Amino acid sequence: MPKPLISGFYIPAMAFVWGEMLIFAVDMKRFAIFSLYWGVSLLLLAAILWSMGYRLPEALMLSTSLLPVAIVFRQMIARVSFASNRREAIKSTILILLFVLTLAFLAVHVAQSVILFDYRQVSTISFDVPPLLLNPVFLLSVLTLMMIGDYGLGRMLGKSLPEEEETITFVSNRQSVTLARQEILYVESCDTEVWIHATEGRRFRNKTSITSWSNLLGSEYLRIHRSYLVRLSACTGLEHDNVIIGEAHLPVSRKYKEEVQERLRKTAEQGRNDV
C-alpha cells in the first residue's frame, strides 16, 4: 500500500481526535489519561480487524477512521434530554443513530477503498467490505462502547483528580479563551450552544455540550437543571427553587432538587469549618 495514501487518511483522522481533546487542555495528567484511553481503544478495534484478515497497518487505519465518528456520536447524543419531551428525545436519538451509521459506513468505505487501491492500475479501486463491517449492530456497538468509555472516564476523572488552580482553554467566537477554573461561575446550555458565565460579568459562547463541561469541570460543579451547571462555592443561596449566584437566579429542576440541597448544605458546612 502506498504510504502517501495511508498518511493522507490517517493523519487527518488522528488530528480530529487529538484536536477534540485539546480543546480542553486542562492539565497534562488528564490529557495523558484520555490519550491512553483512545490509544487502547484504537488498538483493541484494530486487533478485531486484524483477526478478520487485515494487515496491522490496514487494521489501524480502519479503526482510526471510526474514532472521529465515535466522538461525533458522543457530542450529538449528549445534547438529547429525555426530561422535557420524551417523544422528541426518542425521535432525535433515532435520527442521530441513522446519521452516525451513515458516517460510519462512509468512513469504512473510504478506508477500504484506500486499502484496496491498486496503485499499479490507477483506475482500479475495490469497494469490497467484509460483511461484519457493514453490520449496523456491530458498528453501533463499537461506537457506543467508545462513547460510554469516554464519558465514564470523564466522570471518574472529574471526581478523583485533585481540584487544583488550573486554567481551561476553549474556543469562543473563533478565538481562544483561557480562564482559571475558579473564574467560571456557571454554564448555561441554549439549544446548540452554551454560554460560559465568568466573574466580572464576562460571558463566552461555546459549542461544546454542557455534559462535556460537566465532565471537565469536575465535582466542584453541580448540574441543577438540564440547562445549568453551577460552581457550588459561587452559590450564595437557594430561594424558591432557584439557586442564587450574584444577581442571577437559576432554576432548579425537580430531578436535581434533592441533590442540590444536600450539596449546598455540605458546601456551607465545609465553608464554616474552614473559617
Q: Are residues 152 and 175 in the same domain?
A: no
Please name every residue paired with 221 in a beta bridge, in sequence order, or none if there are none.
231
Amino acid at 10: Y
How many helices (H) and strands (E) in the chain?
Answer: 7, 10
Q: Are residues 126 and 149 in the same domain?
A: yes
- Tell me the mean pLDDT in the region 49-66: 85
Q: Are 236 and 271 spatial neighbours (Cβ–Cβ below 8 Å)?
A: no
- Tell me the mean pLDDT in the region 6-32: 50
Q: Are residues 105 and 215 in the same domain?
A: no
- Tell me the mean pLDDT in the region 246-261: 87
Could you tell me the three cell numbers for 28? 497534562
Greater confidence, 146 or 99? 99
pLDDT attached to residue 4: 41
Q: Are residues 142 and 180 in the same domain?
A: no
Low-confidence winner among 12-16, 79-83, 167-171, 213-217 (lowest mean pLDDT):
12-16
How many domains does one find in the chain?
2
Q: Are residues 241 and 146 in the same domain?
A: no
* CATH number (domain holding residue 250): 2.40.50.1020
pTM of the entire predicted model = 0.51
Last residue of a domain, one of 112, 141, 160: 160
Strand spans (E) along 24-155: none
Q: Are residues 112 and 201 in the same domain?
A: no
Low-confidence winner among 16-25, 242-251, 264-273 (lowest mean pLDDT):
16-25
Q: Are residues 121 and 149 in the same domain?
A: yes
Could you tell me the three cell numbers for 38? 483512545
| Residues 223-253: tens digit of each pLDDT | 999 899 999 889 988 888 899 998 899 999 8
Q: Are residues 59 and 34 in the same domain?
A: yes
Domain extent for 94: 3-160
Q: Are residues 35 and 88 in the same domain?
A: yes
Among residues of the chain, what percentage have pLDDT more than 90?
14
**Crossing angle (nearest 10°) for helices 3-22 and 56-77:** 30
Q: How far apart are CA 28 and CA 242, in angstroms?
A: 36
Q: Are residues 132 and 228 in the same domain?
A: no
Q: How far apart are CA 46 and CA 127, in angstroms?
A: 19
Q: Give residue 11's pLDDT band: very low, low, confident or very high (50, 70, 90).
A: very low
